Structure 1
Amino acid sequence: MIRQICLLFLFLGIPIQQRTPLPASRAAARVSITGTVVRGGTNEPIGSVRITLRPAGVSAVTDMGGKFRIDAVPGRYTLTAEREGFVLQLDATHGVTEMGVALTLNAGQPISGMALAMIPAPTISGHTYFPNGEPLAAAVVQAYRWRYTPFGRRMKIVKTALTDDSGEYRLFRLTFGEYIVSASYSHRSQRSALNGRQLSANVPDPDEGYTTVFYGGAASASEAQVVRVAPGLDAGGLNIILSDTPRFSIRGQVVSAVPLPPDLKIAFVPEGSDLNLDTRNFISASADGTFELTGVSPGSYLMLAFGGHLSSPLVPVHVGNSNVEKLSIPLAPAITVNGRVSIEGAIRPNLAGTNLAGVKIGLVRRSREIEQRIEVFAGGDGAFTLPDVGPGEYDVLVERVPSGTYTRSIRYGGRDVLSDAVRIGIDPNDSLDVSLSPMTGTVEGHVSERVDVPSPGVQVVLVPEVRLRRRPDRYIVGLTDVSGNFQLTGVPPGQYTAFAFEQIEPEAYYAFAYDPSVSARFADRAASVNLNQGNVTRLELKAIPSAETAGGFR
């Protein structure tokens, strides 16, 4: 067999989004921020760095001397710096974190001489080999990471790469933390990684190839050796040797009370994947709905059949040490969900007649094993349509709402689903009505390490009341500035518990949704907030040291 390949890498990832305070005014005169970006530990300037003030979205790019200037109206912002292959160097003294640095712009008080340092983003690299020790080209290498969701921690594939003709791989543009790495070699894994793209003609077809192997020689993620990357510490030399161990088959049938559609497709993905029904990586079935998958590695998977306005629920499949036989996948009518976004009350004149075309409506499947989102943008009048939604439970996610508003209520099938799931296939099909409200409040205050010692760059989190903890948009997050002060605007009215963390894993605050021990663990540094519409609440918080959150909320 020819084992040569053109150099090819494929990288996939999902960015983490954080909520930051809104600016105070858009009518005031602009204030300038000037500064320089250099390579950490040196005075070497870095050009082409995008500097952005969030949430305003105002940005500028550094010149070849690393200098930048950015102008914005007075308010509180988070300043971020982004360039391919680099990340911000953490600087606790000046409040620089992975999220950026919190700034307060006051009228007539420009900020000059800001200095930011960036360091190379961490990488994981190594080689893959055939069982006989020869380099393995076109193997699929994937990095997994534990991610926090409102439903629990789950292992998620965050990066994917194909090895080159020497069997080498590089997973870069990573964030610091712990990973699990796997390698696989089969036609199915290549097809999934390529997502419709083609390898060069001289690359041999691996057919069923070899089973998935995790770094450390493990057959499963739970037994894999953890790989840690930290500032100044890349993970190189992570070599993986594939083994010719037994693979198995899955046989079954798609069944339906109505004739099977001619465009029937079956999605087959491992746990931790993103279920994207727009890709071309599907399994075919015979005219009678029977199907067979061969060469399947042991592990946990999910399947979903769809086509012709029909869809199945998610079907979990576990492959152990034998074939899976007589698997049944039932089809049911998919539902088209129509709805509308509106702003209640027309209380603020500047919101009257607001164009709602930027509002994104999404149905997020309730699952710890996989992520599936069905998303659309509303029209200018707020109307939207989500076509062919399959059976299952979904949370309604509303994003990119007009500045200063929040999602006050969501109704479907005669029920309030703001804090509950939309049950497709159970609830009567009805309009999905989303109501926004401009009546928000403000939470501001100060965080200290101990008396009279401010804590800059600390992440302040407002955790909502229990019934709303499955809603990502009700976790309000911001950073303290260099003086330890913070201000969170546009906060929905309600009851919250406030915490200040020196450092936590991305979105680890979702652990409050499903693990009561987390609340008990930090109760002595918590502050209760009961925010009414239009009010301002001030807090004094004690910073929770990073030593108490190292390794996550486990």
Structure 2
Amino acid sequence: MNLPPHSSASILLQSHDFGLVLNGAEMHRDGSFVIRDVAPGAYTIMATVENATAPMMARQSLQVAGNSVEGLRLAPQPGAVVRGRLRLEAKGNVNRFDPSQIFLALQSGEPEDDAGVFTLGQGFSNLAQLAPDGSFEWKDVPPGNYYVQLAGETGANHDWFVKSELVGGRAADEAGFSVNGGAVVLDLVVSANGAVVEGLATDRKGETIANAVIVAVPEARLRGRLDHYRKAVSDQSGRFTLHGIPPGDYTLLGWESVDGAPYYDPEFLKSCEGQGSTLHVNEGDRKSVQVQAIAEAEEQQ
């Protein structure tokens, strides 16, 4: 690995299979490094250069078989600038639009980064506050694929969703947009007319239950995008409301009790998807449903 003068580097190795991070790399002055006792599997390796005039980083996928991996070359480079402008689409009164209350999150679209283990580089924050003119900016963005998500949706903007992302005038695809140094210019359209689904959570006897976890899971091709999931918890009368659902097809699932967020895990979904109901929404829809929550004993089968 080539390093600028008087700088050093830290290296992390993330397992795709277990979500673990190894940080015990031996670094040498000539830029070479060794990570010992690495089990076979799929990994992402990330190098962050320290004490450089500008933040620099490198990121690369890696497959480890039974033999040692030698000759791996990492080429750290300065982080990119991602900037753009947001436009709001809304029906009726838009006077509540207050840019100072809007935060955007730059989320990793890398398939192996679904656990969110990497911090995406030292000194980099993935949150950006909207300026009064609707502009936003992230600096020192590491290489990778990304998408933009609304952060902290509450009250007046809980029905909002990101309707489109234009990158250099072209629509971003389902995997997001690529960042690899330089500057990336985004045009975001946010709709205030996300679908709303409300209903009752019941047990298998048809009785309403409180504190059930209800999740709208997007179709398979979008399950790597956390911004397409919607979650709610039923109140004491069993009622719930899912806000700001982007148009599309979903599986509506409920659990009487669930630890963490396993519904982001494809393997977990395979075990219970058949117990869900299909849901299709268009922009601005309002629908009422009833969801039979999966009992804890059924979940463990």
Q: 1:330 is paired with a residue of what secondary structure?
A: coil
Going from structure 1 to structure 2, the CA distance change for 1:449 and 1:292 (only over 3 Å counts) comes to closer
Q: Is the 8 A contact 2:199 2:240 kept in 1?
A: yes
- Pick the aligned partner of 2:143 from 391, 412, 415: 391
Q: Is the 8 A contact 1:304 1:315 kept in 2?
A: no
Deviations 1:94-124 (A, max 9, x none): xxxxxxxxxxxxxxxxxxxxxxxxxxxxxxx
Match of 1:434 in 2: 188
Deviations 1:241-268 (A, max 9, x none): xxxxxxxxxxxxx14xxxx533644222
Q: 1:509 is paired with a residue of what secondary structure?
A: helix
Match of 1:481 in 2: 235
Match of 1:312 in 2: 58
- Pick the aligned partner of 1:518 from 245, 269, 272: 269
Match of 1:372 in 2: 119
The percentage of aligned residue pairs carrying the same residue is 25
Q: Is the 8 A contact 1:502 1:545 kept in 2?
A: yes
Q: Which amino acid aligns with 1:522?
A: E
Q: Is the 8 A contact 1:445 1:540 kept in 2?
A: yes
Write the distance in 1 (CA, Å) between the matches of 2:66 and 2:106: 35
Q: Is the 8 A contact 2:86 2:135 kept in 1?
A: yes
Going from structure 1 to structure 2, the CA distance change for 1:455 and 1:412 (only over 3 Å counts) comes to same
Q: Which amino acid aligns with 1:404?
A: D
Instruction: Give how far 1:394 is off.
Output: 2.8
2:44 is the alignment partner of 1:298: no
Q: 1:348 is paired with a residue of what secondary structure?
A: coil
- Pick the aligned partner of 2:10 from 233, 252, 267: 267
- Mapping 1:19-38, distance limit 5 Å: none
Match of 1:538 in 2: 288
Q: Is the 8 A contact 1:412 1:430 kept in 2?
A: yes
Write the distance in 1 (CA, Å) between the matches of 2:271 and 2:66: 38
- Pick the aligned partner of 1:361 from 105, 120, 129: 105
Going from structure 1 to structure 2, the CA distance change for 1:386 and 1:319 (only over 3 Å counts) comes to farther
Instruction: Give how far 1:519 is off.
Output: 4.8
Q: Is the 8 A contact 2:85 2:135 kept in 1?
A: yes
Write the distance in 2 (CA, Å) between the matches of 1:467 and 1:408: 17
- Pick the aligned partner of 1:494 from 233, 248, 259: 248
Q: Is the 8 A contact 1:336 1:387 kept in 2?
A: yes
Greater relative contact order (CA < 8 Å, ≥ 6 in sequence):
2
Gaps of 5+ in 2: none
Q: 1:544 is paired with a residue of what secondary structure?
A: coil
Q: Is the 8 A contact 1:503 1:546 kept in 2?
A: yes
Going from structure 1 to structure 2, the CA distance change for 1:456 and 1:292 (only over 3 Å counts) comes to closer
Match of 1:55 in 2: none
Q: 2:59 is paired with a residue of what secondary structure?
A: coil
Going from structure 1 to structure 2, the CA distance change for 1:355 and 1:290 (only over 3 Å counts) comes to closer
Deviations 1:2-37 (A, max 9, x none): xxxxxxxxxxxxxxxxxxxxxxxxxxxxxxxxxxxx
Q: 2:126 is paired with a residue of what secondary structure?
A: strand
Write the distance in 1 (CA, Å) between the matches of 2:271 and 2:63: 36
Q: Which amino acid aligns with 1:448?
A: T
Q: Is the 8 A contact 2:194 2:246 kept in 1?
A: yes
Q: Is the 8 A contact 1:303 1:317 kept in 2?
A: no
Write the distance in 2 (CA, Å) between the matches of 1:409 and 1:275: 37
Deviations 1:252-306 (A, max 9, x none): xx14xxxx53364422234346799xxxx998664xx52345xx65136734144
Going from structure 1 to structure 2, the CA distance change for 1:470 and 1:414 (only over 3 Å counts) comes to farther
| Length-normalised TM-score, structure 1 | 0.44
Q: Is the 8 A contact 2:128 2:138 kept in 1?
A: no
Q: Which amino acid aligns with 1:388?
A: D
Instruction: Give how far 1:500 is off.
Output: 1.4
- Mapping 1:163-242, distance limit 5 Å: none
Gaps of 5+ in 1: 1-253
Write the distance in 2 (CA, Å) between the matches of 1:390 and 1:539: 42
Match of 1:336 in 2: 81
Write the distance in 1 (CA, Å) between the matches of 2:293 and 2:13: 39
- Alignment size in residue pairs: 279
2:164 is the alignment partner of 1:412: no
Larger radius of gyration: 1
Going from structure 1 to structure 2, the CA distance change for 1:477 and 1:292 (only over 3 Å counts) comes to closer
